[in-house]
Chains A and B, each alone.
Chain A
Amino acid sequence: MPRFFFHVHNGHGDIPDESGTDLADQSAASRLAVDSVRSMVSEDARRGVIDLKGRIDVKDAADNLLISVDFIEAFDLTLP
C-alpha cells in the first residue's frame, strides 16, 4: 500500500506529518483528509471556536502534492 503524508495548515500552526500512513489508494487518502478536517473542527467547535481557514495537503513519499483539502470544503455550510 502506498504511504500518504497529511500536512495540516491552520490556526494551530503548521503540523507536518513525519510518519505518514499506508492507505489503499488516493481516494482513501482523500476520505481520510475530509474525515480528519471534520473531526478536528468538531473538537474546536466544542471549545467554542470554528476556524475554517485551514487546509490539509496530502503528499506522497517523494513530497509530491496529490490532494489539497480546504477545511471549508469538508462542510455544507448554512449561515444565518
Chain B
Amino acid sequence: MRVIVDRLSKTYRDRTGRELAALVDIALRVEPEEFVAVLGPSGCGKSTLLGIMAGLLPATAGQVFFEGERRDGQPLTATVFQEFALFPWRSVRRNVEFGLEELGAAPEERKECVARFIAMTGLEGFEDKFPHQLSGGMRQRVGIARALAVDPAVLLMDEPFSALDAQTRTLMMEELLGIWERARTSIVYVTHNIQEAVYMADRVVVLSRRPGRVLDVVPIELKRPRHEGQMGEPAFVHAQERIWGLIKTQAQAALREGRA
C-alpha cells in the first residue's frame, strides 16, 4: 500500500501548559514496496512520526492515509522497536505469534506462519528460548519476525539496530535487506545513522532538528540487491555527503544544546 503523510504536525503540551512543537507540516509519500529511511538528528521527532503512523499517538494537525489494495484483515502497520519490546514471559515462538493471536488467526495457521518467519529470520532452534536468554541481535530478529508475521501493509522500524554493537548492526542490515527482498513490503525506517540510511533505502527523508521539518528527500541511486562493496561507490559517497551537508549545522546546534 501507499502511505501518504499529509501536512502532519505534532505539538506536545507539558503539565504547565507550555507547548513544544515536535513536528511541523510533514508531507511525504511511501510507494508500495518502497524502502524509505527517515533520518534526522537526535530529538527531531522521528519516533513521534512513526508513532503517529502506527496509530499509537494522536496528531495535532494533518493526517496519515493508507491507500491501495488491502487484503481482508491485513493490518496497516507493524512496528519494530528500538528497545525490542519483546514480552519477557513469552518464548520466541509465542512472541512471534502475538500479533497473529490478536488478529484472531486459527491455531494451525498461526503455527505454520510462525514457523515460516522463524526460518526466514534465522531463529530456528531458538523457538523455546526466552528473550533474556538471547543476544541483542537475536532479540531483534524476534522483533522483526513478530512484525513480519502479521503481514503488515507497511513495516515501521524505529532505529531497530541502534541498541546493537557495530558488527552485529552491519550483519543485521544485510539480513534485513535479504528479508525485505523476499517479503516485499513497504518499509519506513527511522534512523540517525547516515550510512545505514543510504545503504538500505530507496529514498532518504531528511528531517531538521526540533521542531522536525522535511529538509529534503534524497533519492539513492544504487543497484539492488545491495552489498557492502557499494559503500565505496561514488553514488554512495555522494549521497552520504549530501545528507551530512544538510544536517551538519543542525547536529552541531543540537550538540551545543547538550541534547544530542
A interacts with B: no
Give residues in A with beta carbon < 8 Å to B: none
Give residues in B with beta carbon < 8 Å to A: none
